[in-house]
A = this chain, B = another copy of it.
């Protein structure tokens, strides 16, 4: 650091440790844009506060670059790129939240939602690869799905699954567009816009690939 400047902040990372009291769940650390040093500081603050912590979008190369002592303290899942520091919350006695995907390529994002919910103690049901180009795959799951109060529906490309689903079940359907696809898939923008203009009433949407955000919304709705 350059000594001709005055750093008024005692630490460059300021974890929002009071968040669980305010909104019901703690701060997760979005790792992708951070330096390894910044991730280490966040882990240390959580350790010092005696808090468990969820890390999201932790790239394999970032995980590999962590000091061994920090790495061994993490339960890391490379598919969803999430890690748990400390013990997840005990399992809650509430209805499970369904997480469904249109294709197999959407599973990493679905797993980010699953893992985020698991970290906070919420039970989940996983139903994968039920995209509407083969409608029978969804239809044989409908009775199961209709029993869930909240469904996180993850889909890329044209993202037609959440629309069809929201026309068939009464649940709160939280749609997560994914960046799967090429050409005019535009890194998920077409899926996102398709979901926002859905002709099914009451679909709500998160940012592209934001399985964590969908999990948080599900938790907010389950309180």
Contact = CB atoms under 8 A, between A and B. Distances in A.
Given A33-B105, A34-B104, A168-B135, A9 B160 contact: no
Interface in A163-185: 163-164, 166-174, 179-185
A141 B9 CA distance: 9
A25 B200 CA distance: 12
B194 A158 contact: yes
B13 A129 contact: yes
A199 B135 CA distance: 12
A157 B197 contact: yes
A133 B183 contact: no
Given A144-B8, A183-B207, A14 B124 contact: no
Interface of A: 2, 4-9, 12-14, 16, 18-19, 22-25, 27-28, 30, 32-35, 38, 42, 57, 77, 79, 88, 91, 96, 102-105, 107, 114-115, 117-118, 123-137, 141, 144, 149-150, 156-160, 163-164, 166-174, 179-210, 212-221, 223
